A and B are shown apart, each in its own frame.
Chain A
């Protein structure tokens, strides 16, 4: 496993991301709620540049069987990454794919050391 400094802490505010190339691989660093996370820029669907897609929220719904009414809610604002090729959704905090159960973005360990963000590959 190799370690790479990819950014300084001050470089990214909450909601920011930075794309870097490490050992020939495109890695995306995200900062959400103060936490850093790194994923390979590769959608498990068809290999699209998932980490370059828009960051949004997503919809959730609840059905009231008694009233026969469906309530739509907008949730996870700022935490959902959408692959620009086909819209597959990923949860940025966990890397989990919301579009296909059990699928995830390839994730890499991240640590902060002396105000530098270090990613392990």
Chain B
């Protein structure tokens, strides 16, 4: 890191919108109700499936993931990465579980663990896990934990979700979120590509191909579904956050959906304005993993298109494809004003998550 960057970082409050805590299976088991606790501790069949892709390439990329399990690990990360406000989530996407009852139990277990281990005795900010298999039960869970000041959003994996997340069956979740002023945080997952796109997962010959498409396909599908079903029109005070697909897909989707909306407006009559207007009003985008154009001015233009009032910083730490702040900040410091930089690093997430910091 350059001296200039180090100096600037020290003076800037940084909100990191995507920090994952790792929850070992035996730990979540202690928060689960029966019979699911025993499904982990006493069954030879793994509850959490693996796609078999080797994401860290035989160890060429180091493992920060398996040891990032406790509040002290988050403290250490904050110091090393100079992150004042990490917004932490329990990571596990819950959409893939076929048993609705198991998904509901896991949702409550992850939230109990988040409160017990990370929020009750520390001043961290966190996202509550939401499973959509039983939307009304999920809404009850939002009622249960939604008034906790340290819960600042609701975490929904966009992998393995069926029906797509904008489906009206999920409206009880969106209504409860709006009632509690909690943004919906959509998060993609490359490992879980196999649930959404099984043919491609089987057909691709390397993880390069899966990782290139997994998160953006999941996030695009979610954005199209949420806009197409009129969710932001139904719940005008609800914010939506999209994490872990980078940012370049957002202008593409805004412009593409504008075009399709104007051709097929009568098919989506709940929308009273263009998709781009809804996205600019109610949607927020996490930066990670920031694309790496060969010409840096190309990234400048993409950031300008989103705007400092839509873009937020995210590391995705401790996962292997995390971004250090330097990745985004090199563009912010070179091309943007200090006011815009502060917006992206601090004020825009404060607005998106309703943070009083």
Binary per-residue interface labels of chain A (51-91) against chain B in the complex, 1 for a CB within 8 Å, 0 otherwise = 00000001111010100101010000000000000111100
The answer to whether A101 and B273 have CB atoms under 8 Å apart is: yes
- Contacting A68 at CB < 8 Å: which of B175, B261, B267? B175
Binary per-residue interface labels of chain B (261-282) against chain A in the complex, 1 for a CB within 8 Å, 0 otherwise = 1111111011001100000000
The answer to whether B264 and A65 have CB atoms under 8 Å apart is: no
The answer to whether B234 and A65 have CB atoms under 8 Å apart is: yes
Q: Does A22 contact B (CB under 8 A)?
A: no
Residues of A within 8 A of B266 (CB): 58-59, 89
Residues 225-239 of B contacting A (Cβ, < 8 Å): 230, 233-235
Q: Does A100 contact B (CB under 8 A)?
A: yes
The answer to whether A99 and B270 have CB atoms under 8 Å apart is: no
Looking across the interface, which residue of chain A has its beta carbon closest to that of B136?
A68
Residues 334-356 of B contacting A (Cβ, < 8 Å): none
Looking across the interface, which residue of chain A has its beta carbon closest to that of B261?
A99
Q: Does A20 contact B (CB under 8 A)?
A: no
- Contacting A88 at CB < 8 Å: which of B234, B263, B270? B263
Q: Shortest CB–CB separation between residue B80 and chain A, in angstroms?
A: 45
Q: How far is the CA of A100 from the CA of B260 in the complex (A)?
A: 12
The answer to whether B269 and A87 have CB atoms under 8 Å apart is: no
Looking across the interface, which residue of chain B has its beta carbon closest to that of A64?
B234
Q: Shortest CB–CB separation between residue B137 and chain A, in angstroms?
A: 15
The answer to whether A70 and B267 have CB atoms under 8 Å apart is: no
Residues of A within 8 A of B100 (CB): none
The answer to whether A45 and B262 have CB atoms under 8 Å apart is: yes
Chain B interface size, under 10 / 10 to 19 / 20 to 34 / 35 or more:
10 to 19
Q: Does A107 contact B (CB under 8 A)?
A: no
The answer to whether B273 and A61 have CB atoms under 8 Å apart is: no
The answer to whether B172 and A68 have CB atoms under 8 Å apart is: yes
Q: How far is the CA of A89 from the CA of B175 in the complex (A)?
A: 32
Residues of B within 8 A of A60 (CB): 269
The answer to whether B269 and A63 have CB atoms under 8 Å apart is: no
Given contacts A87-B263, A87-B264, contact A59 B234 (CB under 8 A): no
Q: Does A98 contact B (CB under 8 A)?
A: yes
Q: Shortest CB–CB separation between residue B181 and chain A, in angstroms?
A: 16
The answer to whether B262 and A86 have CB atoms under 8 Å apart is: yes
The answer to whether B262 and A61 have CB atoms under 8 Å apart is: no
- Contacting A100 at CB < 8 Å: which of B233, B267, B270, B274? B274
The answer to whether B270 and A70 have CB atoms under 8 Å apart is: yes
Looking at B171, B261, B265, the one whose CB has the most chain A CB atoms below 10 A away is B265
The answer to whether A99 and B273 have CB atoms under 8 Å apart is: no
Residues of A within 8 A of B171 (CB): 68
Q: Does B168 contact A (CB under 8 A)?
A: yes
Residues of A within 8 A of B172 (CB): 68
Residues of B within 8 A of A98 (CB): 265
The answer to whether B269 and A86 have CB atoms under 8 Å apart is: no
CB within 8 Å of B: which residues of A?
A: 45, 58-61, 63, 65, 68, 70, 72, 86-89, 98-101
**Nearest 4 A-B pairs (CB), nearest first?**
A61-B269, A99-B262, A59-B269, A59-B266
Apart from A59-B267, A101-B273, what 11 extra A-B contacts exist at CB < 8 Å?
A: A61-B230, A63-B233, A63-B234, A65-B175, A68-B168, A68-B175, A70-B168, A86-B263, A89-B265, A99-B261, A101-B274
27 contacts between A and B (CB under 8 A): A45-B262, A58-B265, A58-B266, A58-B269, A59-B266, A59-B267, A60-B269, A61-B230, A63-B230, A63-B270, A65-B175, A65-B234, A65-B235, A68-B168, A68-B175, A70-B168, A72-B269, A86-B263, A87-B263, A89-B266, A99-B261, A99-B262, A99-B263, A99-B265, A100-B274, A101-B273, A101-B274
